[in-house]
Chain A
Amino acid sequence: MKVSYFETGRYQAPADMPAIWPMPAAAYDSGEGVRVFRGMIERIALAEKLGFDWVSLSEHHYSPRILTPSPMVAAAYVAARVHTIKIALLGPIVSHSNPVRIAEELAMLDTIAAGRLVVGLLRGTPNETLTYDLNPQESRERTDEGMELILKAWTEPRPFGWQGRHFRYRTVSVWPRPLQQPHPPTFALGTSREAGEFAARTRIGLGVSYGPFEVMEKVTGYYRDQCARHGWEPAPDQIIFRANIILTETDAQAQRAMEVYPTRAPFSLAEGVASALLTLDARNIAGEARSASINRALPINFFGSPDTVVDQVRRCREVIGAGVIDLGFNTPGTTDPVALLDALDLFGRTVLPRIRDI
């Protein structure tokens, strides 16, 4: 099993901060912002030293929960400061961005990072459709088209035009090229039928997240079936499972943390907006309709003592087939960055060496 540390930029929000999205800019503390980016390097350097394979970054907006609205900028910063760990962008939001620009920036990053880049291409969470005025009913199609254009932009040797549905370019010719050829390891991120079909057809990996193992099993099973239909079989490290983890010394400690774990997202959309988005933003799990996750806290999929977590990782491999876990470390009751360093250290000492061979 390969292990990735999901770095979100730990912003220590004061207790009186409103629990809303978008978070008012006036609530921002610039000193805390500076500490976030300084701490980012400290945490990633520790993860690298402990033997984590990847650090992952992702794109979210208008909130202290994840302080990397441009994961490209964060990745360039990390690439220059930390030298062996792979840098996984999981991922840029394709639906609301210029896909050619994404292809260019990722190719730059792969070059800057000396071929250490891993790429996940993302549709985005429902609230992100509000960020740049994207019609939620178009986000699926724009993602599919954007992903195809990014792959084309990396691999076509000569200038080409793109006559799409949502994107039109008359001349595309990306410089620099990605260092890894034909392109960095790339994943479609998502649990939908469309993400699975796209990944299978274009022979890229699939990244799933935050669902119970049995549900994620349906998604990766669908993906593998589609790959077989296209005449290939994905390797284990072409399936990523992103999940939250609460690792404690004893199972009892984790149990107590789970009991107080919130069910509501820390920063929520207004009810009127949330309910309207639910009707507009259609989602599915391997073709089975489901409502979008809005204002709900993300579940914890790994929790307990090191022994228990090792067993859970083993089950994750058996059930989902994931060869990479991408972990968001929770430190119940505190947002202190030091607690996060302790959690990483505990994982690195007690779990990491025991899941290598899973």
Chain B
Amino acid sequence: MANMASVFRDGSVDADGFCIRYQEAGEGPPLVHLHGAGGLRLTSAHDLLSCAFRVIAFEMPGFGAVENQKTQTAQDLATTMAAAAEALGLSGFNLMGTSFGGTVASWMAVQRRDLVAALVLDAPSTIRPEGGEPISGSPEEIARRLYAHPERVPPAPAIEPALAERRLAIAQRLRGPGRDTMLEEGLSGLAMPALVLFGTRDGVIPPAMGRHYLELIPDAHLVFVYDAGHALMVERPEAFTEVVTDFLERSDAFIISRTKTVIYP
């Protein structure tokens, strides 16, 4: 991460009948990010990632200003987002999905192994326990489930309640079952390396779900981010970025330490 963080600029691309907005910064290998049910919100982790990667953070159709009744399933949405990436001329890119975006990213990796070089699932909702409820409620209640330490997180920009509700509704409509046999079969056939991250204090998806990905995906790694809730990129951006960058740069060899411990030469 030798380079300076870049400034994100807005863009949009037509794909699969949608006009899809995105924000982009940085140079280097492309890293496509799919946001969670809260919609596209840049974090300091995006800034840090843009030091090493060309980060393209999409806003998935239905999570922005325009409603989306057309998309019926997370698979459909994955098809749309793959088309958006291809429309930007991307292939062999790193794909990262956060929470609900993790479900979409999982489907995209399964459907389009040709496009995705490596997969990062950030507190993914791909596999959920029975009875797991999506986050809703007052901003305080939501913050308590998103963060291990809500008091340390700067207040999020206010959004219209109607928009927040619409995002939650589309995520709930598309997210699929907690255990999706077809998706899990697909995951067990993935050839690309995958990194799954959970905060040790995730209040939305139990971090114990992480082990299922190791059972399913042939080349998967699981990393716990200590003392973080569901929103890892907001709560521990440096820790998140370091391990994601290391994994994407070195693949399976990222488990070999490069930390220098010499105190005096």
Contacts and interface: CB of A to CB of B under 8 A. Distances in A.
B172 to A, nearest CB: 26
A278 B197 CA distance: 39
B214 A158 contact: yes
Most B CB contacts (10 A, CB to CB) among A149, A163, A168, A170 go to A163
Contact of B222 (A145, A149, A160, A168): A160
A228 B23 CA distance: 45
Nearest to B223: A161
Given A158-B215, A163-B240, A170-B257, A152 B200 contact: yes
B255 A163 contact: no
Interface stretch (B48-56, B89-97, B224-232): B224-232
B223 A162 contact: yes
Interface string B231-247: 00000100110110000
A171 interface: yes
Nearest to B226: A164
A157 interface: yes
B224 A160 contact: yes
Interface in A152-190: 152, 156-165, 167-168, 170-171
Contacts of B243: 161, 163
Interface residues on A, range: 10 to 19
Given A145-B227, A162-B224, A163-B223, A170 B215 contact: no
A158 B224 contact: no
B222 A158 contact: yes
A161 B226 contact: no
B116 to A, nearest CB: 21
B19 to A, nearest CB: 37
A148 interface: yes
A176 to B, nearest CB: 19
Interface residues of B, number: 23
Most B CB contacts (10 A, CB to CB) among A156, A158, A159, A161 go to A161
B223 A160 contact: yes
B226 A149 contact: yes
Interface in B204-232: 210-211, 214-215, 221-227
A159 B223 contact: no
Given A148-B200, A152-B200, A171-B255, A161 B221 contact: yes
Contact of A157 (B211, B223, B224, B257): B211
Contacts of B259: 168
Interface string B42-74: 000000000000000000000000000000000
B144 to A, nearest CB: 12
Contact of A170 (B210, B227, B240, B255): B255
A98 B14 CA distance: 52
Nearest to A141: B227
A171 B236 CA distance: 20
Contacts of A148: 200, 226-227
A163 B247 CA distance: 13
Contacts of A149: 226
A159 B239 CA distance: 19
Contacts of B214: 158-159
Nearest to A161: B223
Interface of B: 197, 200, 210-211, 214-215, 221-227, 236, 239-240, 242-243, 254-257, 259
16 contacts: A152-B224, A157-B211, A158-B214, A158-B215, A159-B214, A159-B221, A160-B222, A161-B223, A161-B255, A163-B226, A163-B239, A163-B240, A163-B242, A163-B243, A170-B255, A171-B255
Interface of A: 145, 148-149, 152, 156-165, 167-168, 170-171
Given A148-B226, A152-B224, 7 more contacts: A156-B211, A158-B222, A160-B223, A163-B197, A163-B239, A165-B226, A167-B226
